[in-house]
Amino acid sequence: MAERAERPELSGGALDLLNRFLAQLSAVKNASPKTVDAYRRDVSGYLGFLASHWGGPLGKAALAEVGAPDIRAWIAAERGRGLSARSTARALSAVKSFHRWLDAAEGVSNSAIAAARGPKVKARLPRPVDPAAATALIDDAADNDEPWIAARDAAVLTLLWGCGLRISEALSLKLQDAPLPEALRIVGKGGKERVVPVLPAAREAVNEYLRLLDHPGPPDMALFLGARGGPLGARAVQKTMAAARMRLGLPATATPHALRHSFATHLLEAGGDLRAIQELLGHASLSTTQAYTAVDQSRLMEVYERAHPRGGRG
């Protein structure tokens, strides 16, 4: 992806509006620092483009006058700098959020922004790991000369696959959460809380890890520790999974997050209700969960084409 060109520095009214919008995201919407940073980049890029495009200062009055040609010019500039359709669509979404805030907080409405459409983005289907490969990955990741590290890696990956946790959610567990109950209360993205059933295999894996760890700390200490004693980081889990998939000859799509995809797909294949799966995954929108139906249908067609007497090409 190409680097973004430098934009003129924002000042005055535009900078003040941007900072207030970001403060609202953080304080009211409970957005994570990474999310706030992403909005900062996208909206400041948009405002910087307008300042350059118009050759003048930006304020509320100017932002009320942004028209469809201005939006098209900004989108073209984004694409011209090498941004993908997906990244440009995300930036437009951030800009629309900014203008919605302007309308609500400052009474500055703009119908052109609300009607703007970004480039078409081809939907990405989740790429789950099949059950045999998931089991092999967990077994391989648990093959470590240090027994407690082997047990730790097995426990983390089992939680991702067996409970559908995000890697950040698994690593945010504290020592006081163990032994794991039959159901965990998880706080996910945007502070959204959900209750997730814990399989016996996941509880047993965590218990075995703690047995081998053999030096419990205070209750608020991270449950999963790194080799040097601090909290285990996501990057370490990703590297462990990458090494395991290379040894097993699995594709690069076999990531820790793919185990979460597998959790959802396996539930759907077993007849799970889409709404219930949405709750278990902590998706804010059902449309996000519905991507798994496409995966399920794709697999069904593969089976049909292999098994049906007239399904093959012959």
Known catalytic residues are 166, 189, 257, 260, 283, 292
- Amino acid at residue number 213: L
Answer for the pair 80, 37: CB distance below 8 angstroms, yes or no: no
What backbone phi and psi angles, to 5 degrees, belong to 216? -60, 150
CA 29 to chain centroid, in Å, comes to 17
Would you give the end-to-end CA distance of the chain in angstroms?
42
Q: Are 107 and 61 in contact (CB under 8 A)?
A: no
Q: Is residue 119 within 8 Å of 75, Cβ to Cβ?
A: yes
Structure tokens at 148: 């407690």
Question: Could you give the count of Cα atoms lying within 13 Å of 244 in the half-sphere of its Cβ?
Answer: 26
